[in-house]
Amino acid sequence: MSKKTLTWLLIFSIIINISTITTFSYHRWFKPTKKTEKTYRSTHIESLSKKLGLTEEQARQVRELRSNLWQELKPLRNQLNDERGHFIQILKQDTINIDKLHKRIDSIAEIQKQMQRKTVENMVAHQSILTLEQRKKFFTIMTKRMHSNESKRRHPQKSIKEKNEKDNKF
């Protein structure tokens, strides 16, 4: 082969290698992978199992409880999203019927109430699985999670603990 052909083959080979490396690098470091709900849940359960020191049997029961809860909440989440969509559609109209808005608000509140009840029932069901020490840790974790959402609000409210501490100073 001539030198010219070898040079072009070398250049072509280098371009292919650079393209391949760039593509792999992009997908590895720059393109975030989407976490599915299932992978998030399994990661959460593994983390919870480690923090609480669950046995294999307890971990299986907790997975089952959480899976059942997820299945029970899924249709309610769908209903909630539908109701919110209807609520937004009413708000977009040129003339707004306030009674329709109030009915949608009541409907959204009722769905949220059902979801809260199912979640609390699930938390109570954990008590039969966990030991006394594990229950204490579990409810400490749940309390932290519930209060951590306050910091995500636009106008964060002081936590109950901070309010009590402030009241006790006086």
Instruction: Please write the tens of the pLDDT for every residue from 117-139.
Output: 999 999 889 888 999 999 999 88
Residue 34 backbone phi and psi in degrees, to 5: -80, 130
pLDDT value at 74 more than 60: yes
Sorted by where each begins, the domain ranges of the chain are 1-33, 35-147
For the entire predicted model, the pTM comes to: 0.59
Q: Which numeric CATH code is attached to 35-147?
A: 1.20.120.1490
Percent of the chain clearing pLDDT 70 (strictly above) = 80
User: Which residue pairs from 139-143 have beta carbons closer than 8 angstroms and sit at least 24 positions apart in sequence?
Assistant: 141/48, 141/51, 141/52
Whether the per-residue pLDDT at 161 is higher than 70: the answer is no
Which of the pair, 31 or 106, is modelled with greater confidence?
A: 106
Check residue 131 and report its DSSP letter: -
Residue with more model confidence, 144 or 78: 78
Cα 88 to Cα 82: distance, rounded to the nearest angstrom: 10
Residue whose structure tokens are 């976490």: 35
Mean pLDDT value across the chain: 81
Query: Is residue 12 predicted with pLDDT exceeding 70?
Result: yes
